[in-house]
Amino acid sequence: MSPKVSAGITVGATVVVGAYMVVRAYDLFRTGSVAGSALGAGVLLLVLLGGLLVVGEVRLAAASQRLGSELAAEGSVEPDLPLTASGRVVKEAADAHFSLRQAEVEQAPEDWRAWYRLAVAYDLARDSSRGRRAMRTAVRLRRG
């Protein structure tokens, strides 16, 4: 399944669950009690927070896709790294690649290209949370 399809399914499921929660919040408000209204407000707050998080992640994904396309158009490609039988990059190769990318960022901390490559290296090293942070930095630097 392609990443776009899985993202679409995830966003769709989030919308369905959010809509269900809004209906339940409405039911809580209709009870007329203070506790029901407070719980309904809490549920609506959770729906809002979830929606903001999903929108933020979708925007980050779209921006990172644009940056990747821009790098590809410039002719910048990632090196071919050895893969395991399951298709993942060999850990030692990913670690060595990460060290190179980290040094690149240290030499040019304001270069969005270096941050983008570091984000990809984090992903190859299976550290997605730091990868997203690095990608946010790349997007921010590219916009700025």
pLDDT digits (tens, 9 = 90+) for 24-37: 999 999 999 999 99
**Residues in a beta bridge with 89:** 83
* pLDDT value of position 86: 84
Counting residues of the chain whose pLDDT is more than 70, the rounded percentage is 99
pTM of the model: 0.79
Q: How many Å apart are CA 29 and CA 49, to the nearest integer?
A: 19
What pLDDT is recorded for position 113?
93
pLDDT at 20 over 80: yes
Query: In angstroms, how far apart are the furthest CA atoms of the chain?
Result: 63
Helices 91-107/112-124 angle, 10° precision:
160
Q: In one letter, which amino acid is 59?
A: R
* pLDDT tens string 48-99: 999 999 999 999 999 999 999 998 888 876 777 888 888 788 888 888 888 8
